[in-house]
Amino acid sequence: MEKADDAGVYKISDDLALIQTVDFFTPIVDDPYAFGQIAVANALSDVYAMGGVPKTAMNLAAFPVKTMDFSMLRQIIEGGLDKLKEADVALVGGHSIEDTELKFGISVTGFVHPDKFWTNHGLKDGDRLILTKPLGSGIINTAIKGGMASEAIIHDITRVMSSLNRSASEAMREMLVHACTDITGFGLIGHMAEMMPGSGCSVKLQFSSIPVMKEAIEFASMGLVPAGAFKNREFRECMVEFSEKLGPVERDILFDPQTSGGLLFSVSEKDADLALEKLLAAGCSDSSVIGEVFSDTSEKIIVKP
Amino acid sequence: MAATVDARGLSCPQPVILTINEIKSGTDPEIIVLVDTETSQENVSRAAVSHGCTVSEVMQDNEGYRIIIKKEK
């Protein structure tokens, strides 16, 4: 593939291509089992975002052997393994090293049809954009780091981050998907922006239709916005036109870096209702049509209240 | 009197947490917060406003930002 995408694709035969990705990071929640689950859900997401089926995985772990109890690593790996089982992916090996800072993730190999995978390019005039998970995990993780989040919020955000994008990907398999990506570190605007170059289209997002965890709004107004959100804003602000009715907090939500965020689909207007119906029926209950694509060579993101 | 919170060199959310602690438990009517990134400056200013204070001044020099927060009586 000539453009940057969610995972690497290598054609083996006319009806089979290999799809590969790798991702690992430092803990975002205190519970080691939950961290393992989130790390795996996050890494598998790149394969789901391309319409592929993940098959095998390998663990990657960096562990501070001298300062941390080894049972921590065991619990992280258990969390990851349970998530892999849920995804019907076989763990076939792994590698760990000693490091001063704990890190965990996996490499993933999967299959996809070489003519049928979804790229993040292909927006078409009139398309509708559908997002499958709520935004706000970067801000809420910052609040957790600051000791400001309640147990109930930690529980909710853990559930959102550790839920697989598998059902969303499978629900859309029979649909004509023009473009798809998963929302992670660059935030909604950053990943949206990556879909646009060369499309000859701009997009109009409706803020009120975008699923957002309500605690994220509360924490952002308290100043618990991660540095990544500011970096994302600095980088992409030039291509966004915000309605004056949207304040700094709402804007930050759209730049907030997500951990294991949802899938963002672009489908034709006539397919949008059916696509949303399928996603909701598959249990992706936060799914929502968040905006539309229109022909415009300025390739801008317009955000309405 | 003014209390000073030196949050230079700290990454988010620490400057915000230190500021909120000072707003909640400090006795001085004015708080001066020192930070060294634009991110921390915005976050600390926002934290002050959300806790019922006003940001009376933000000064920038080559060492970072100096935020003057006034507590409401």
Residue A43: inside a domain: yes
**What's the ipTM?**
0.85
Residue A155: inside a domain: yes
Count, residues in chain A: 305
Domain limits at A263? 128-304
Rounded to an integer, what distance in angstroms lies between the CA atom of residue A52 and that of residue A50? 5
Rounded to an integer, what distance in angstroms lies between the CA atom of residue A209 and that of residue A290? 5
Record the tokens describing residue A77, joined without a space. 């790996």
CB A99 within 8 A of CB A175: no
Residue A208: inside a domain: yes
Encode A60-73 in three state secondary structure: EEEECCCCCCHHHH
Phi first, then psi: what are they for A144, rounded to 5°? Answer: -65, -45
Q: Which of B16, B37, B38 sits opposite A224 (nearest CB)?
A: B16
CB A193 within 8 A of CB A219: no
Residue A118: inside a domain: no
Looking only at the bridges linking them, the beta strands covering A53-63 and A263-267 are unpaired
Q: In this predicted structure, what is the pLDDT of residue B11?
A: 87
Task: With beta carbons under 8 A apart, name residues in chain A contacting B13.
Answer: 142-143, 145-146, 148, 223-224
Our count of domains for chain B comes to 1
Residue A37: inside a domain: yes
Our count of domains for chain A comes to 2
Domain limits at B45? 2-70
Residues A153 and A256 placed together within one structural domain of the fold: yes
A226–B12 CB contact, under 8 Å: yes
Record the tokens describing residue A262, joined without a space. 């949802």
Please report which confidence band the pLDDT of residue B63 belongs to, taking 50, 70 and 90 as the band edges.
Answer: confident
Rounded to an integer, what distance in angstroms lies between the CA atom of residue A32 and that of residue A68? 12
Distance from CA of A274 to the nearest CA of B (A): 42
Rounded to an integer, what distance in angstroms lies between the CA atom of residue A108 and that of residue A113? 17
Nearest CA in chain A to B10: A227
Rounded to an integer, what distance in angstroms lies between the CA atom of residue B73 and that of residue B55? 14
Q: In this predicted structure, what is the pLDDT of residue A4?
A: 63
B47–A230 CB contact, under 8 Å: no
Residue A1: inside a domain: no
Q: How many CB atoms lie within 10 A of CB B73?
A: 4
Record the tokens describing residue A137, joined without a space. 């995990």
Residue A221: inside a domain: yes
- Which pTM does this prediction carry? 0.92
CATH of the domain at A63: 3.30.1330.10
CB A255 within 8 A of CB A187: yes
CB burial string A34-52: b at 16+ within 10 A, e below: bbbbbbbbbbbbbbbbbbb
Task: With beta carbons under 8 A apart, name residues in chain B contacting A26.
Answer: none
Least Cα distance to A293 among A185, A180, A184, A205 occurs for A205
Which of A66, A83, A112 finishes a domain? A112
Q: Residue A139 belongs to what H/E stretch?
A: helix A137-145
Beta-ladder partners of A39:
none
Strand order in the sheet with A128-131: A179-182, A263-267, A128-131, A288-295, A201-206, A301-304, A240-242
Encode B16-45 in three state secondary structure: HHHHHHHHHHCCCCEEEEEECCHHHHHHHH
Which of A86, A112, A138 finishes a domain? A112
Residues A97 and A20 placed together within one structural domain of the fold: yes
Record the tokens describing residue B52, joined without a space. 């019922």
Tokens 């098959």 correspond to A55
CB A227 within 8 A of CB A185: no
Please report which confidence band the pLDDT of residue B72 belongs to, taking 50, 70 and 90 as the band edges.
Answer: confident
CATH of the domain at B64: 3.30.110.40
Residues A146 and A193 placed together within one structural domain of the fold: yes
Q: In this predicted structure, what is the pLDDT of residue B44?
A: 96
Q: Which of A147, A222, A230 sits opposite B50 (nearest CB)?
A: A222
Q: How many CB atoms lie within 10 A of CB A249?
A: 18
- Per-residue pLDDT tens listing for chain A (305 residues): 455 677 889 999 999 999 999 999 999 899 999 999 999 999 999 999 999 999 999 999 999 999 999 999 999 999 999 999 999 999 999 999 999 999 999 999 999 999 999 999 999 999 999 999 999 999 999 999 999 999 999 999 999 999 999 999 999 999 999 999 999 999 999 999 999 999 999 999 999 999 999 999 999 999 999 999 999 999 999 999 999 999 999 999 999 999 999 999 999 999 999 999 999 999 999 999 999 999 999 999 999 99
The DSSP symbol for A177 reads -
Task: With beta carbons under 8 A apart, name residues in chain B contacting A222.
Answer: 16, 20, 46-47, 50-51
Which of A47, A77, A112 finishes a domain? A112
User: pLDDT tens-digit profile of B5-14?
Assistant: 999 999 889 9
Query: Hey, of B14, B16, B21, B58, which one would you mutate to test binding to chain A, going by the most A CBs within 10 A of its CB?
Result: B16
Rounded to an integer, what distance in angstroms lies between the CA atom of residue B71 and that of residue B30? 6
- Work out the angle at residue B45's Cα, subtended by the Cα atoms of residues B44 and B46, and round it to the nearest 5 degrees: 90
Record the tokens describing residue A144, joined without a space. 């957790």
Residue A138: inside a domain: yes
Residues A52 and A167 placed together within one structural domain of the fold: no
Rounded to an integer, what distance in angstroms lies between the CA atom of residue A142 and that of residue A148? 9
Residues of B at the A interface (Cβ-Cβ below 8 Å)?
Answer: 11-14, 16-17, 19-20, 37-39, 42-48, 50-51
Residues A141 and A254 placed together within one structural domain of the fold: yes
Tokens 């994302």 correspond to A232
Q: Residue A86 belongs to what H/E stretch?
A: helix A70-86
Q: Give CA A9 to chain center in angstroms.
A: 19
CATH of the domain at A148: 3.90.650.10
